[in-house]
Structure 1
Amino acid sequence: MNLPNTPTALIIIDMQIGMSLPTAGERNNPTAEKNIATLLTLWRQEKQPIIHIRHISRSLNSSFYPNQPSADFQPELAPLPHEHVVEKNVPDAFIQSGLERWLHQRNIKSLVIVGVSTNNSVEATVRSAGNLGFNTIVINDATFAFAKHDYSGRPRTAEEVHDMSLANLDDEYAKIMTTEKLIKDMEK
């Protein structure tokens, strides 16, 4: 399996223990972690750049406040010592993190983005990536969202929230595809 000749970074957003707890709420894509792990294994085999994004909250009562088990990476998706880790305090992984500079220093122009949550950190990061000129792909079955009420107060399922977020990104900021489609495209 070969990735493009130029480096393509896999960016894994906020796959922390707190995101897998029942208290996080109703979510879609129950196999997202499996798909992320598949891509992570592939990127490691291909020796392509991997960036793990970790949300560190400034709020004392947050599950993502530093030095809590829920703020740690999920063990099966944890970074290896040589893999780059970016900590962020806002949804967008590009804001005050040095991520853009890190990518430019390595001449990385293509990104594959996975993680959580589709309508928050994934969408914010993908919008910036697209606006900054990165060739960006979002893997829709390796991201997930949580159920939420819309602005009018109507309850929306996790799948509805996820689908609307992907619709916001599709063809304007990124290309949307499945894990299977990405792997098939890479085999060509």
Structure 2
Amino acid sequence: MYASFQVPLFSLAILLRDRPDLASGPVALIRSTPDPDTSTSSTTAKPVILAVNHAAAQYRVTKGLSPTKALARCPHLNLISSNPADECLHQDALRDYLASLGPDFEETATGIFILDLLSIPHAMKFPGEWAEQALRKATPLRLPIDISLARTPDLSILAGQSPALRHTLRFNSDPIFCMAQHPTFAIRHIDSQPIHSLNQISTEIALES
């Protein structure tokens, strides 16, 4: 059994963690990338939208837009820049957190980890209870975290796409815990369904026990 730990929109989440004044409105993360249209040898930095929060998405602001186009769709959009040094500090904190849960974990991407639960008997026997305890232990990080459990590492990442299959930690003024409707996930649950059906599991697709 494996558990995936995912911080949704990691780079944006760490910037908004201590900015509730921004988090409640539309926000987009921007970064500068090489301009593919330049014909000179010197690279011109071209800012693009890297990530958006839910409020910005409501205005059809999407990843890859230029700031000009994004502001045309949402004039009161807040644009913030990524902070690589801060991201490294939070990634280190996540690494320490995972190490406190179990010894056998792997970083698959920034803000994404997979933990092998084989050496954690409580997680193997009571996965839902263990996931809740793991989320409560993460509250000092003050970051949104999704935990999903499955028989393989890839399936645990995939399960994170479904609200019914992920255990979540969110923050308002206090931590908010939401436990998965189904504690573990196996590929047989959707073997005759398209991948996008993961979002419909809680309402339309009944998982087999």
TM-score (norm 2): 0.27
Higher relative contact order (CA 8 A, sep 6+): 1
Greater Rg by CA: 2
TM-score (norm 1): 0.29
